[in-house]
């Protein structure tokens, strides 16, 4: 592989959307941010220079970061933030991955404006396992606020209530013609008839899962989270924040007398209010230049029909269609046995209002979110650094519970006590353990689909179901042959999902006694709905030392920011 250098200047840029202009934090003044392109095997070096008042970190979502945990990016987990005036070089190698991923800010709500596609091409000469596309087009979904998103979340955190919802969704940063005064801010995909296009769909929205559809066209899903899947046709794609989906779009054989809208709008259950608007773009067929005599008739506009906002049966159906290719060339190395089993409840919760404050949660409480009733408290120094310098005392504890503190009917009436516990707790895993994790949605303050994202690993989605997970019955129906392999999975609203993975990524380095040796690593896991992350629906896994994949050893970067 080669080394690809990028320079990311974090700076303010004035941007107008929905007829309002505001200054947003950007990379190089671009919104959405620049596209990173690399090949499997390449090293990527991104020099990040922070010119703004906000602290910043960047995350390369879905990149496994074998041996380079220092470059992973979640603030206060693998690194301290890059402060105003500071520079940090993210330096990592793409090893055995190809497909569509993305990069985004990983601190507070800056992801709302700092994100971009990360396209990994296969090694030179290695073809796709599907028709070679005529063109490849990233479409990155986002969410737009007229207000400053940092102010939106800090106000919510201060009052304990729910943050304001967004004002629009965007396709490649553009809301499109269904919003007031946005017609000129419309993403247009110009296509030729009779060709195959590869659309690299990325959901970078902060808080909403999205349905996406193109009027009068079906697409073929070929990849999810940068792993090939068995192709299937669909009119609509469901994509959660943190997920990426590659689809093939075969255009109509002849120039149609029509223009087609493509649209994205939310899939949402359980929450009282959400942005129920629709982003749209235009699929426009290019006419041959000498065909101006044709098509004198008025061009028709077709709109897609999208599922209802709470169509959980569509969501379930869609996710069960996703299967790994599981061929000799692209095997699915599903753990067949389990060394460690975990059962995590994921959902909302409450905490008491601090004295002499008023809080806007139910009955004057604060809104929280938790895993196994632990709402994660962000430490003031990075977990990985604390590890490295053997100073974990006072930073985190290793007693994250493997099971919920008490049993109840998770999908029925919520328990009387809905208060969460607070803590900075991690699970410690030996190297190369086969892990099974069942995540159960709870009905506390409403059943809701939570897109859980795991850093450092892909996992296999071996099962899902509704109601309470039954450890006696449900494992019998697990798919251990061709389950989809991904990095972000929606825990179904009112149900559960089971995943398996090997803890085969021990991450960074230890240079004690001047010997470089692999050092245990810290991998974040959290709901990719940013509001739930803010409320504490997050935790971390510590993976202990182990024998390594063949990677060149690198010392911890000297420019790693300090807290």
Question: Given phi > 0 = left and psi -120 to 50 = alpha, else beta, which region is 531?
Answer: alpha
Torsion of CA 226, 129, 481, 442, to 10 degrees: 30
Cβ distance to ligand C2O smaller for residue 245 or 365: 245
Residue 450 touching ligand C2O (CB under 6 A): no
Q: Is 379 in the site for ligand C2O (CB under 6 A)?
A: no
Torsions phi, psi for 431 (to 5 deg): -65, 140
Where does this chain touch ligand C2O (CB under 6 A) — which range of 91-99, 378-386, 513-521, 523-531?
523-531
Count, residues near ligand C2O per rule CB under 6 A = 11
Q: Is 61 in the site for ligand C2O (CB under 6 A)?
A: yes
The answer to whether 104 and 15 have CB atoms below 8 angstroms apart is no
Nearer to ligand C2O, 33 or 307 (CB): 33
Tokens (6 digits) for 251: 């255009």
Q: Could you say whether residue 59 binds ligand C2O (CB under 6 A)?
A: yes
Q: How far is CA 421 from CA 342, 352, 369, 495, in A?
A: 19, 11, 10, 23
Look at residue 382 and give its three-state secondary structure: coil
Q: By beta-carbon distance, which residue lies closest to ligand C2O?
A: 61
| Residue 65 vs 324, nearer CB to ligand C2O | 65
Return the biggest CA–CA distance within the chain: 79
Question: In the complex, what is the shortest distance from the CB of residue 281 to ligand C2O, in angstroms, rounded to a whole number?
Answer: 23
Strands (E), 352-441: 366-371, 374-376, 421-423, 426-429, 434-441
User: Is the CB of 261 or the CB of 540 nearer to ligand C2O?
Assistant: 540
Report 97-126 residues binding ligand C2O (CB under 6 A).
104, 106
519 binds ligand C2O (CB under 6 A): no
Of residues 57 and 186, the one with the C-beta less far from ligand C2O: 57
> Does residue 532 touch ligand C2O according to CB under 6 A?
no
Joined tokens for residue 213:
């559809």
> What is the dihedral angle through the alpha carbons of 527, 109, 48, 37, rounded to the nearest 10 degrees?
50
| Interatomic CA distance for residues 129 and 297, integer angstroms | 41
**Which helix (H) or strand (E) covers residue 312, if one does?**
helix 312-321
Instruction: State the CB neighbour count (10 A cutoff) for residue 20.
Output: 12
φ/ψ of 318, rounded to 5, equals -65, -45
Helix (H) or strand (E) holding 139: strand 135-144
- Dig out the tokens for 446 from the structure: 């409403």
Instruction: Decide: is 486 part of the binding site for ligand C2O (CB under 6 A).
Output: no
Binding flag, residue 64, ligand C2O (CB under 6 A): no
Tell me the window of 11-19, 189-197, 290-298, 524-532 that interacts with ligand C2O (CB under 6 A). 524-532
Report in angstroms how near the CB of residue 454 gets to ligand C2O at its nearest: 9
Min dist CB 64 to ligand C2O, Å, is: 13
Cβ closest to ligand C2O, residue 74 vs residue 304: 74
Per CB under 6 A, the list member of 32, 74, 495, 508 interacting with ligand C2O is 74
* Closest CB 226 distance from ligand C2O, rounded Å: 13
Q: Are strands 188-191 and 279-285 parallel, antiparallel or unpaired?
A: parallel
The whole-angstrom separation of Cα 541 and Cα 523 is 5
**Residue closer to ligand C2O, measured from CB, 106 or 200:** 106
Q: How many helices (H) and strands (E) does the chain have?
A: 4, 35
283: three-class secondary structure by DSSP: strand
Which C-beta is closer to ligand C2O: that of 323 or that of 532?
A: 532
SS3 content of the chain, % helix, strand, coil (to 5): 10, 40, 50
Smallest distance, Å, CB 393 to ligand C2O?
A: 25
Shortest CB 103 distance to ligand C2O, Å? 9
Please tell me whether residue 453 binds ligand C2O under the rule CB under 6 A: yes
- Among positions 222-281, residues that touch ligand C2O (CB under 6 A) are 242
Instruction: Write down how long the chain is.
Output: 563
Among 197, 524, 535, 541, binds ligand C2O (CB under 6 A): 524
Round to whole Å and give the CA distance between 493 and 343.
16
Nearer to ligand C2O, 457 or 524 (CB): 524
- Is residue 500 involved in binding ligand C2O (CB under 6 A)? no
The smaller minimum CB distance to ligand C2O, of residues 242 and 494, is found at 242
Q: Applying CB under 6 A, which part among 315-323, 334-342, 457-465, 520-528 lies near ligand C2O?
A: 520-528
Binding site for ligand C2O (CB under 6 A): 59, 61, 74, 104, 106, 242, 453, 455, 524, 526, 528
């Amino acid at each position: 592989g080669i080394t690809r250098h990028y320079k990311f200047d974090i700076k303010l840029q004035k941007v107008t959307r929905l007829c309002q202009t505001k200054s947003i934090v950007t990379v190089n003044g671009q919104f959405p941010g620049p596209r990173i392109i690399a090949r499997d095997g390449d090293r990527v070096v991104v020099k990040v220079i922070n010119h703004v008042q906000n602290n910043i970190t960047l995350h390369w979502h879905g990149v496994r970061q074998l041996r380079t945990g220092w470059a992973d990016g979640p603030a206060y987990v693998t690194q301290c933030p890059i402060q105003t005036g500071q520079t940090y070089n993210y330096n990592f190698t793409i090893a055995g991955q190809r497909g569509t991923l993305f990069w985004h800010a990983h601190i507070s709500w800056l992801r709302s404006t700092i994100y971009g596609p990360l396209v990994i091409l296969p090694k030179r000469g290695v073809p796709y396992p599907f028709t070679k596309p005529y063109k490849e087009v990233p479409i990155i979904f986002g969410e737009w606020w007229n207000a400053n998103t940092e102010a939106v979340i800090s106000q919510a955190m201060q009052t304990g209530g729910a943050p304001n919802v967004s004002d629009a969704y965007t396709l490649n940063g553009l809301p499109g013609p269904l919003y007031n005064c946005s017609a000129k801010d419309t993403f247009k995909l110009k296509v030729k008839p009779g060709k195959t296009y590869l659309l690299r769909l990325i959901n970078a929205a902060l808080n909403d899962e999205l349905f996406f559809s193109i009027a009068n066209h079906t697409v073929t899903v070929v990849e999810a989270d940068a792993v090939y899947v068995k192709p299937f046709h669909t009119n609509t794609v469901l994509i959660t924040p943190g997920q990426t989906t590659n689809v093939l779009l075969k255009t109509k054989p002849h120039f149609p007398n029509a223009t087609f809208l493509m649209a994205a709008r939310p899939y949402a259950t359980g929450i009282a209010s959400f942005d129920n608007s629709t982003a749209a773009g235009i699929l426009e067929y290019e006419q041959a230049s000498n065909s101006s005599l044709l098509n004198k008739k008025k061009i028709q506009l077709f709109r897609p029909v999208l599922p209802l906002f709470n169509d959980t049966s569509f969501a379930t159906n869609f996710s069960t269609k996703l299967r790994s290719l599981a061929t000799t060339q692209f095997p699915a190395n599903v753990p067949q046995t389990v060394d460690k089993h975990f059962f995590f409840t994921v959902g909302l919760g409450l905490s008491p209002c601090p004295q002499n404050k008023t809080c806007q949660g139910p009955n004057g409480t604060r809104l929280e979110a938790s895993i196994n009733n632990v709402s994660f408290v962000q430490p003031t120094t990075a977990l990985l650094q604390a590890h490295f310098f053997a100073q974990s005392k006072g930073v985190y504890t290793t007693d994250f519970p493997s099971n919920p503190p008490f049993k109840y009917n998770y999908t029925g009436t919520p328990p009387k006590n809905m208060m969460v516990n607070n803590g900075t707790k991690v699970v410690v895993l030996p190297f190369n353990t086969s892990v099974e994790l069942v995540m159960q949605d709870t009905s506390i303050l409403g059943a809701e689909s939570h897109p859980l994202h795991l850093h450092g690993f892909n996992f296999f989605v071996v099962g899902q179901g509704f109601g309470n997970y039954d450890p006696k019955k449900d494992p019998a129906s697990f798919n251990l042959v061709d389950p989809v392999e991904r990095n972000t999975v929606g825990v179904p609203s009112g149900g559960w999902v089971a995943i398996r993975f090997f803890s085969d990524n021990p991450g960074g380095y230890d240079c004690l006694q001047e010997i470089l040796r692999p050092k245990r690593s810290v991998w974040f896991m959290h709901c990719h709905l940013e509001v739930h992350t803010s409320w504490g629906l997050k935790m971390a896994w510590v993976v202990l030392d182990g024998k390594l994949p063949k990677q060149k050893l690198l010392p911890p970067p000297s420019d790693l920011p300090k807290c």
